[in-house]
Amino acid sequence: MQRSKRILIVSHCILNQNTVIADEARAEGAIVSAVEWAMKQGYGLLQLPCPEFTFLGLNRPSMTYEQYNTPEYRKHCREILQPVLYQAEDYLKNDYEIAGILGIQSSPSCDPVRGIFMEELTSMFAEKGITLETLWYLPNTSEPVFKSDEHFVK
């Protein structure tokens, strides 16, 4: 079987809603519409760690961008992103394509436009000369349905 050599970087909770704070989960497990779309595209999935879960644990409070926007949290994000950066660099060195990122709209960490974790990821990638052309997002609704043609930033 020939591999697609196309990788999609995916926010942790798209594949595992069990790490989402209480009363904010949008699915029982994975977001099926997003996973099905990625599979149909032939993407391999590189799941990001959940920065909020690894920083404050499962029973953390709901927090805003401003509350997470601290030097300690940004440092934590950069530390847990280091293995992701190494993987992305190795994929690229071996002629793989990083198709983009699939994030979470309105997340203080994983919104592809204004999320602290995504800001740090983009910055770390830029420091290595890696640009991410396409940013998709899961819409901020209680029962989200991902539609790639409607839910992208660039």
Q: For position 154, what pLDDT does the model report?
A: 62
pLDDT at site 133: 82
Tens of pLDDT, residue by residue over 66-80, are 999 999 999 999 999
Regions in the chain scoring below 70 on pLDDT: 154
H, E, C per residue of the chain: CCCCCEEEEECHHHHCHHHCCCCCCCCCCCCHHHHHHHHHHCCEEEECCCHHHHHHCCCCCCCCHHHHCCHHHHHHHHHHHHHHHHHHHHHHHCCCEEEEEEEECCCCCCCCCCCHHHHHHHHHHHHCCCCCCCEEEECCCCCCCCCCCCCECC
Every domain of the chain and the residues it spans: 6-138
